[in-house]
A = this chain, B = another copy of it.
Amino acid sequence: MKADASRPTKRATIKEVAEACDVHPSTVSRALNAATARLIAPDVAARIRSVADTLGYRPNAVAAGLRTGRSRLIGVLAPDISDPGFPPILGGLAEELGRQGYVAVVADLEGDGARQRELVDRLIAQGVDGLVLATVRLDDPIIRRCLDARIPAVLVNRADRRGRLASVVSDDIKGMALAVEHLVGLGHRRIGHIAGPSDLSTGALRRQGFEAAIVAAGVEDSAVETARAYTRAEGKAAAMRLLARAPRPTAIVAANDLLALGAYDAIAASGLACPQHVSVVGHNDMPYVDMLAPPLTTVRIRQRDLGRAAASRLLEAITAPPKRKQQTMFDPQLIVRGSTAKPPRG
């Protein structure tokens, strides 16, 4: 005989709860739904809640979703989950979505932009109520697609050139100003930039910010080399090109930390030392760059806040259709560590 007085083993349906309470299923639905609970007599509602509780009843979100057209699922398109830069954003997203009763469905591009369309379609087919895109390029056809499908969407850490979709970003222009001003303050007058891909907003804007800051500071000798991807290998290649110039730059500002890591590689490969011969500044402040040799001076962006804000914007857009697509911008902060120093004499 069964001595098992514990939790029920099979999910209860609303009908079963209704029968146990001797009321109609719709009454149970109303009692358990915050928005409609006040329509039910307090004592009845209490009874229903208690019975639902002992039965371990949890509304079937799939069925509710079919009926209401709302799944409480948010699709998140990640550029490459295994890249340590993304997780903090995802963490912020998941946190805020969770607070509001939503959950993140994550699809990973794995660095292959061609799959984007397919993944978005899949997420839509799965019934997501909205989309967070951390992947889009400056003129990305996927944006048209989202607009056509009339699915609420927000960009995070990326922006559309024409601002057709709301976006949540760090102030890249300001970030680069911080980096350049720091180097100029140290005495650098020959500064190179490793730009990110020009079809990404971060690549284009940071380059633009770099150039503006260079002009503002009156620096005459500057150079830009563009990386085709945000990878350590591309960073190294671009840095090698920068270091091959004569006279050699005394400082390199990289468009992100991975590229800065590549710059470290290039400096070592050239028989030079950082920061003695060449200073390096990164961007993003991804985890543990404070443990590098040397610890990386970098522009910290508020990744977790980006994620949280993207979630908020999106959920707003889902409940109250937005009057206007707007951009939310967070201020970056320069974190000075050991990879920057005065330029070598001479």
A residues contacting B by CB (< 8 A) are: 6-11, 58-63, 65-66, 71-73, 80-84, 86-88, 90-91, 94-95, 98, 103-108, 110, 119, 121-127, 145, 148-150, 261, 264, 287-289, 291-294, 304
Contact for A81 among B9, B71, B87, CB less than 8 A = B87
A95→B66 contact, CB < 8 A: no
Instruction: Specify which chain B residues have a CB less than 8 angstroms from the CB of A103 in the assembled complex.
Output: 105-107, 122-123, 126
Instruction: Specify which chain B residues have a CB less than 8 angstroms from the CB of A288 in the assembled complex.
Output: 84, 261, 288-289, 292
Give, as a whole number of angstroms, the nearest-CB distance from A142 to chain B: 12
Q: How many copies of this kind of chain does the complex include?
A: 2
Instruction: Specify which chain B residues have a CB less than 8 angstroms from the CB of A11 in the assembled complex.
Output: 124, 149
Can you name the residue of chain B whose Cβ is closest to the Cβ of A94? Answer: B108
Can you name the residue of chain B whose Cβ is closest to the Cβ of A124? Answer: B58
Instruction: Specify which chain B residues have a CB less than 8 angstroms from the CB of A9 in the assembled complex.
Output: 148-150
A125→B59 contact, CB < 8 A: yes
User: Which applies to chain A's interface (DSSP): helix, strand, loop or mixed?
Assistant: mixed
Instruction: Specify which chain B residues have a CB less than 8 angstroms from the CB of A7 in the assembled complex.
Output: 145, 148
B125→A107 contact, CB < 8 A: no
Instruction: Specify which chain B residues have a CB less than 8 angstroms from the CB of A65 in the assembled complex.
Output: 62
Can you name the residue of chain B whose Cβ is closest to the Cβ of A304? Answer: B82
Known: A126-B73, A293-B291, A293-B293. A81 touches B94 (CB 8 A): yes
Contact for A105 among B6, B58, B105, B289, CB less than 8 A = B105
Can you name the residue of chain B whose Cβ is closest to the Cβ of A101? Answer: B122
